[in-house]
Amino acid sequence: MDRLCEATLDRLPATVERPTYDREAVTTGIVHLGIGAFHRAHQAVYTDRILGEDPRWGVLGVSLRSGETRDALSPQDGLWTVATVDADGARHRVVGSSTGMMVAHEDPTGLSIRLAQPEVRIVSTTVTEKGYSHDPATGRLNEDDPDIRHDLVHLDRPRSTIGTIAAGLKRRRDARLAPFTVLACDNLPANGRTLRGLVTRFAELVDPDFGAWVAGEVRFPSTMVDRIVPATTDADRAAISAAIGLEDAWPIATEPFMQWVIEDDFSLGRPAWDTVGAQFVADVAPYELMKLRLLNGSHSTLSYLGHFMGHETVAEAMAEPALARLVADLMVEECAPTLPDLAGFDVPAYCASLIARFRNPALRHRTWQIAMDGSQKLPQRLLGTIRDRLAAGGSIDRLALGVAAWMRWVTGIDEQGRPIDVRDPMAARLRALADAAGPVAERLAPALLTVGEVFGADLPGDPRFTGAVESALDRLLRRGAEATVEAMVAEARR
Ligand code: CS2
């Protein structure tokens, strides 16, 4: 089978959408850090749709660590297929918004020089929660992070995302060029504001004047991003290549749904993403909270519990009636009441649509994938909701079960006594705490609650929280996830 590339584009079946603009005429207006599956199925697709109208917004994609994406896609002239799949079948689109790909650590200096080119007006990020070198509980820069320490001394060859952005901004300032807009696209609360705090603090440590310039001149709009994009499997590669009649080394299979809400605060212009479905608003905070708490909070809870119950994918876990019920109750009873009013927004309908999306039988979204990096995810997915519920005197039983399931997870041993491959930047520390405590809730819960980067200073001191987590963990350890979930759902029905 021939490879997908510019020269073979005209052999695609007529049903496959493809770039209708002249890719030669596209220039690089955006440098995107983190070209994983999410970016390639989300921002890259929105951008692909506007390039015909405005070719100034091509995307130079940067991988922070591995060269795999670049190596897979360069022989394809930076083209890849996005398949949107659901029970009705698949639709395919070849995306052409990439103007090139770089691997940051191969040429960090070259990357900052690119960032300082006048045509670059936006630098965006999908580097996942752990890519921010921050303390997840407070959102502040982790100044002990080895990459941050390195970058503070060697800003000419940065390693971290924060250092890379700062290096680009510094070059622009030194060249008396206006700064680019920094567009955070990760699932962090107030992602733009958080990133502003991190880059500003880093810049202050480099030089107070530079810090003041970043604080005063650089825009960091917040965004809410949403599309469920599982990691590509070999089966996806084979099915998608067969459907388009050309070999694609790294296509993406995703759901039809996508959403992007963006604060309209760009210093050097922006693509008309609103003409292709994105929404520009003055304040993205209510959207972000809604998505992080309802979607991601229940996604994580479902994934830990579902994995313990033997389900490899989210759709399989949702086929377990008690688990599906628990997740729906979690959303409606414990998360939704903490959300600010969003005019014209139908929260029950949104929850129902999330349930339907989780049930998408064509997506093989592994529970294990979502379970990754829990130490970085819990604060915004579950703990903020818990704080608001406690302040309002509401129940937190299901939220606490999610936290307890994470605690069970980081012990690294599943219900059958088999090892769990726990991927988390704090995995070793969490495991050491769990091993020292042993699998007994009254010791394990307090041991893990000492991790201030996750739980902050307040929650471990609130007996309503510690009691609920310990009791949920006790049930999980003694009776297992299935019996715990069933009992909780039955109790709620009484
Ligand atoms: C998921 C998210 O992997 C995870 O932790 O919860 O990636 C989720 O699929 C997206 O945020 C959906 O927009």
Give the pLDDT confidence score for residue 342 in this predicted structure.
83
Is 313 a residue whose pLDDT tops 90?
yes
Is 345 a residue whose pLDDT tops 90?
no
Instruction: Tell which residue, 313, 260, 236, has the closest CA to residue 45.
Output: 260
How many percent of the chain have pLDDT more than 90? 98
Give the pLDDT confidence score for residue 188 in this predicted structure.
95
Give the pLDDT confidence score for residue 341 in this predicted structure.
86
Is the minimum distance from the CB of 296 to ligand 1 under 6 angstroms? yes
Is 137 a residue whose pLDDT tops 90?
yes
Residue 145 — very low, low, confident or very high, per pLDDT cuts 50/70/90?
very high
Average pLDDT over residues 5-28: 97
**Tens-digit pLDDT profile for residues 408-421:** 999 999 999 999 99
Give the pLDDT confidence score for residue 343 in this predicted structure.
79
Q: Using a CB cutoff of 8 Å and minimum separation of 24, what contacts does 237-240 make?
A: 239/83, 239/90, 240/81, 240/83, 240/90, 240/92
**Tens-digit pLDDT profile for residues 25-39:** 999 999 999 999 999
Q: How far apart are CA 399 and CA 336, in angstroms?
A: 12
CA-nearest residue for atom 9, ligand 1, is: 228
C-alpha of residue 50 to centroid of ligand 1, in Å: 25
Instruction: Tell which residue, 352, 405, 336, has the closest CA to residue 374.
Output: 405
Is the minimum distance from the CB of 299 to ligand 1 under 6 angstroms? yes
Is the minimum distance from the CB of 395 to ligand 1 under 6 angstroms? no
CA-nearest residue for atom 1, ligand 1, is: 370
Token code pair at residue 263:
């604060």
C-alpha of residue 113 to centroid of ligand 1, in Å: 32
Average pLDDT over residues 151-163: 97
Token code pair at residue 472:
């949920």
Q: How far apart are CA 22 and CA 285, in angstroms?
A: 37
CA-nearest residue for atom 7, ligand 1, is: 228
Is 142 a residue whose pLDDT tops 90?
yes
Give the pLDDT confidence score for residue 163 in this predicted structure.
98
**Tens-digit pLDDT profile for residues 34-75:** 999 999 999 999 999 999 999 999 999 999 989 999 999 999
**Atom nearest to 296 CA in ligand 1:** 6
Instruction: Tell which residue, 397, 427, 425, 395, has the closest CA to residue 410.
Output: 427
CA-nearest residue for atom 3, ligand 1, is: 370
C-alpha of residue 362 to centroid of ligand 1, in Å: 16
314 by DSSP, 3-state: which? Answer: helix
Q: How far apart are CA 248 and CA 74, in angstroms?
A: 11
Beta carbons of 368 and 304 less than 8 angstroms apart: no
Beta carbons of 455 and 427 less than 8 angstroms apart: no
Instruction: Tell which residue, 377, 403, 407, 385, has the closest CA to residue 333.
Output: 385
Q: How many C-beta atoms lie closer than 10 Å to residue 213's C-beta?
A: 18
Gyration radius of the chain over CA positions? 23
Give the pLDDT confidence score for residue 65 in this predicted structure.
87
Give the pLDDT confidence score for residue 494 in this predicted structure.
83
**Tens-digit pLDDT profile for residues 359-400:** 999 999 999 999 999 999 999 999 999 999 999 999 999 999
**Tens-digit pLDDT profile for residues 428-451:** 999 999 999 999 999 999 999 999
Among all chains, which residue has been given the structure tokens 């809870």? 301
- Model-wide pTM > 0.75: yes
Give the up-direction half-sphere exposure of residue 116: CA atoms within 13 A in the CB hemisphere. Answer: 20
Strand partners, 80: 95
Burial class (CB in 10 A: 0-12, 13-18, 19+), 69: buried
Q: How far apart are CA 461 and CA 133, in angstroms?
A: 26
C-alpha of residue 364 to centroid of ligand 1, in Å: 13
Q: How far apart are CA 198 and CA 182, in angstroms?
A: 12
Residue 478 — very low, low, confident or very high, per pLDDT cuts 50/70/90?
very high
Average pLDDT over residues 10-23: 97
Give kind and range of the element (H or E) at residue 234: helix 234-244
140 by DSSP, 3-state: which? Answer: coil
Q: How many C-beta atoms lie closer than 10 Å to residue 308's C-beta?
A: 24
Length of the chain in terms of residues written: 494
The average confidence (pLDDT) of the chain is 97
59 by DSSP, 3-state: which? Answer: strand
Token code pair at residue 302:
């479902």
Token code pair at residue 276:
């292709």
Residue type, 233: T
Give the pLDDT confidence score for residue 375 in this predicted structure.
98
How many percent of the chain have pLDDT more than 70? 100
Q: How far apart are CA 406 and CA 301, in angstroms?
A: 8
**Atom nearest to 187 CA in ligand 1:** 11
Residue 247 — very low, low, confident or very high, per pLDDT cuts 50/70/90?
very high
Q: How far apart are CA 464 and CA 288, in angstroms?
A: 27
Among all chains, which residue has been given the structure tokens 């979607």? 295
**Atom nearest to 230 CA in ligand 1:** 9
3 by DSSP, 3-state: which? Answer: strand
CA-nearest residue for atom 4, ligand 1, is: 370
Average pLDDT over residues 337-345: 88
Burial class (CB in 10 A: 0-12, 13-18, 19+), 393: exposed
C-alpha of residue 301 to centroid of ligand 1, in Å: 12
Is the minimum distance from the CB of 370 to ligand 1 under 6 angstroms? yes
Beta carbons of 130 and 78 less than 8 angstroms apart: no
C-alpha of residue 296 to centroid of ligand 1, in Å: 6
- How far from each other are the two terminal CA atoms of the chain, in whole angstroms? 60
C-alpha of residue 228 to centroid of ligand 1, in Å: 6
C-alpha of residue 307 to centroid of ligand 1, in Å: 16
Token code pair at residue 273:
């993403």
C-alpha of residue 370 to centroid of ligand 1, in Å: 7
Beta carbons of 130 and 373 less than 8 angstroms apart: yes
Beta carbons of 180 and 124 less than 8 angstroms apart: no
Residue 323 — very low, low, confident or very high, per pLDDT cuts 50/70/90?
very high
Is the minimum distance from the CB of 187 to ligand 1 under 6 angstroms? yes
Is the minimum distance from the CB of 259 to ligand 1 under 6 angstroms? no
Give the pLDDT confidence score for residue 279 in this predicted structure.
98
Q: How far apart are CA 36 and CA 360, in angstroms?
A: 22
CA-nearest residue for atom 6, ligand 1, is: 296
Is the minimum distance from the CB of 288 to ligand 1 under 6 angstroms? no
**Atom nearest to 227 CA in ligand 1:** 13
Give the pLDDT confidence score for residue 180 in this predicted structure.
98
Token code pair at residue 410:
């980081």
